[in-house]
Structure 1
Amino acid sequence: MQSYLTKLNATVRPGIDGAGVKHLRLVGIILALLGALAILLPTIATFGAELLVAWMLTLWGAVGLWFSWAIRPVPEWRYGFAAFGLLFVMGVALVLFPLAGIAALTVLMMLSFLMEGLLSILFGLRSSAHVSNWGWLVFSGLCSFAAGLVILFGWPWTASWTLGLMLGLNFLSTGLSLVMLAKPARSAR
């Protein structure tokens, strides 16, 4: 009986020169470059991330409001209208008050990094018997977890640049781990 991780190994590594490995390497390189840029310009990356989220929530809310209004004959349209209205108001608030948005997003990022770190470490350790480069998953998880701890212990004084720096470190470590997973390695069978 094949386990999920054995199937994962077969799909991630269809062959040394397979298209999947090339795409994995390309995604890793792009993430690593974006991460390096965010590390070099953390305040700009923080502000950019906040604005991106703010405008996406605003757009998502506006489209959802339009959709909810369009389905008025359906009795549940009011629930959708209320939910999308809340998203729209949150997005507009983040656009109008970017410093508060940066603080809120920094807290959410801290929680995300801590959870992603733990899950990556656990997944890497579980896959050690099936994937030869499993250590890179653990490395990525440790980097994510450390990023979450830095945000936690530096709060609130470092919020203006921490989000951009931590996003950069996370993108860089994830990108490097994907590049290393795409490298040919001995089989773990």
Structure 2
Amino acid sequence: MSIVETISKSAKTAKWVGVVMIIAGVLSLSAPMAAGLSISMLIGGLFIVSGVFQLLVVFRAGSFPRELLLGLLGVLGIMAGVYMIAQPGLALATLTLFLSGYFIASGILQIVAAFQARSQQGWGWLLFGGLVSMLLGAMIWSQFPLSGIWAVGTLVGIHLIFSGMTLLAIAGAVKDAASAIAD
């Protein structure tokens, strides 16, 4: 198989992945609470897996008495994961508040960076992005606990749609370039 055929084949796979991401994003937007609960449970599962592996490393290395803190972190990860799976609604509320705080802090940092970059072209976009981020964070915070129902699932859905569209665009450009080389 030539390099051009390999690139073309990869582009086709990337297009399908992009389509699946867009479909997942639309589904997330159509049922944001279900998506948010699923995300909080998935994160809980990841905490459990992470905690188990931390404990395995501590015990397999034979360093349990010396590495008590790492062992405790593993236990804490497992406990947090079990809690998130057992109480996905409360976990979702916590994720929503964290997300709100993240957007507000990120917006403030972007605004500060924008004013520091005033002499450079495009600094207004950085300022705009910071203002939008702060506004989104404040909106989520002010609508809490209601925002817990929609915020995480909606934002993940939007992210999936835009990431899928980006992947489709890149795959199309790669396939076009491969076709141009083949001709």
- Work out which of the residue numbers 136, 139, 158 in structure 1 matches 2:128: 139
Q: Which has the larger radius of gyration?
A: 2
Structure 2: gaps (5+ residues): 1-17, 164-183
Could you list the runs of 4 or more consecutive aligned residues of structure 1 that deviate by over 4 angstroms after TM superposition? 36-41, 166-169
Q: Shift of residue 45 of structure 1?
A: 3.6
Residue 110 (structure 2) pairs with residue 100 (structure 1): no
Which structure dedicates a bigger proportion of its chain to helix? Answer: 2
Cα distance in 2, alignment partners of residues 119 and 167 from structure 1 = 22
Residue 116 (structure 2) pairs with residue 126 (structure 1): yes
* Percent pairwise identity: 23
Shift in alpha-carbon separation, 1:41–1:75, aligned structure 2, 3 A: same
* Greater displacement, 101-110 / 136-145: 136-145
Shift in alpha-carbon separation, 1:70–1:148, aligned structure 2, 3 A: same
- Work out which of the residue numbers 64, 69, 76 in structure 2 matches 1:79: 69
SS at match of 1:105: helix
Aligned to 1:53: 43
Residue 115 (structure 2) pairs with residue 157 (structure 1): no
Q: Which has the higher contact order (CA 8 A, sep 6+)?
A: 2
Shift in alpha-carbon separation, 1:81–1:146, aligned structure 2, 3 A: same
Structure 1: gaps (5+ residues): 1-29, 176-189
Aligned Cα RMSD in Å?
A: 3.1
Cα distance in 1, alignment partners of residues 146 and 45 from structure 2 = 25
Cα distance in 2, alignment partners of residues 168 and 133 from structure 1 = 28
- Work out which of the residue numbers 52, 55, 59 in structure 2 matches 1:62: 52
Aligned to 1:114: 104
Q: Which amino acid aligns with 1:164?
A: G
Q: Which amino acid aligns with 1:157?
A: L
Cα distance in 1, alignment partners of residues 56 and 75 from structure 2 = 10
Q: Deviations over 1:128-178 (max 9, x none)?
A: 323x22222222211211111112111112311122234556x49x98xxx
Q: Deviations over 1:3-50 (max 9, x none)?
A: xxxxxxxxxxxxxxxxxxxxxxxxxxx8xx69x745555324422431
SS at match of 2:118: helix
Q: Is the 8 A contact 1:69 1:77 kept in 2?
A: no
SS at match of 1:128: coil
Cα distance in 1, alignment partners of residues 128 and 38 from structure 2 = 27
Give the length in aligned residue pairs: 144
Q: Which amino acid aligns with 1:155?
A: F
Cα distance in 1, alignment partners of residues 122 and 157 from structure 2 = 23
